[in-house]
Amino acid sequence: MKILLIEDEPKLNQFIKDGLQQNGYSVEAALNGSAGLELASIGKFDLVVLDIMLPGQSGFDVLANMRQFKIHTPVIIISALNETDHVVRGLDAGAVDYIKKPFEFPEFLARIRAVTRKGDPKSYTSYKVGNLEINLLTRKVFFDSNEVLLTNREFSLLELLVINCNRVLSKTEIAEKIWEVSFDMGSNVIEVHLSQLRRKLGEDLIHTKVGVGYYIEGVLLKQ
């Protein structure tokens, strides 16, 4: 999942970015409204996290321009402006949620998960392929009924492969979905994570189509 973060306070920007990346999200960040709007217009994001008090143009202006430009990416507003009229204005302008600063990071992550579930009415929270079960809400994985502990990045990679069961995903597509845009395609970090997943879940779970990509094969059950 790719998130665009627009927050002008450098330390908070970096803190939020680091926290999101540690939880398996791919993040691009901007420090002002104009730069954020430009990224939103040219990039493919699943969510925008938007501050209100920004230099250049405010978050309200950014949101209005996004909708005017037909950019319908879901937006969560984060702001120290917590009066009711600000919250109402933000939601009426098209934001899907408004989080008041300061906030607890676990709650922030839960709000993100809630928004992404709402964004797709056909989304599911639990998937099963053969002996593998993965729950997107609890972020727990079971194989042969035994819980398997994964890192956040391993979980995100497994989630991507499971949701796209029986479809070969190229290294480029995996990098775009899970890692940064600046990801070095010459590195072997994806192969390393795949190797770790195979070690934890069995060598036969994730298949390689030489020269094409990687996939999980089987009957996918969704709940």
Same domain for 111 and 157? no
Domain end marker among 104, 119, 134: 119
Q: How many residues does the chain have?
A: 223
CATH number at residue 106: 3.40.50.2300
Number of domains in the chain: 2
Query: Distance (Å, rounded) from C-alpha 54 to C-alpha 32?
Result: 6
CB atoms near residue 203 (< 10 Å): 8
pLDDT of residue 183: 58
Q: Hey, is 92 helix, strand or coil?
A: helix
pLDDT of residue 188: 85
Same domain for 106 and 132? no
Domain end marker among 84, 119, 154: 119
Rg (CA), the chain: 19
Same domain for 112 and 130? no
Q: What is the 3-state secondary structure (H, E, C) of 198-219?
A: HHHHCCCCEEEECCCEEEECCC
Q: Tell me the residue range of the domain where 107 lies.
A: 2-119
Same domain for 101 and 18? yes
Same domain for 113 and 138? no
Same domain for 213 and 167? yes
What is the value of pTM for the model shown?
A: 0.58
Residue 196 belongs to what H/E stretch? helix 189-201
Q: Hey, is 138 helix, strand or coil?
A: coil
Same domain for 107 and 131? no
Same domain for 131 and 38? no
Query: Distance (Å, rounded) from C-alpha 34 to C-alpha 83?
Result: 25
Token readout for 89 is: 């204005």
Token readout for 78 is: 């984060």
Same domain for 57 and 88? yes
Domain end marker among 119, 148, 182: 119
Same domain for 24 and 101? yes
Question: Which phi and psi (to 5°) does residue 158 adopt?
Answer: -65, -45
Same domain for 28 and 70? yes
Of 61, 58, 49, 53, nearest to 21 by C-alpha is: 49
CATH number at residue 146: 1.10.10.10
pLDDT of residue 7: 96
pLDDT of residue 133: 94
Same domain for 6 and 110? yes
Q: What is the DSSP letter of 41?
A: H
pLDDT of residue 121: 43
Amino acid at the residue 120: D
CB atoms near residue 3 (< 10 Å): 22
Give 10-residue mean pLDDT values along the chain (223 residues).
Answer: 92 94 88 93 89 92 90 90 88 89 89 71 73 87 93 90 89 80 70 94 92 90 78
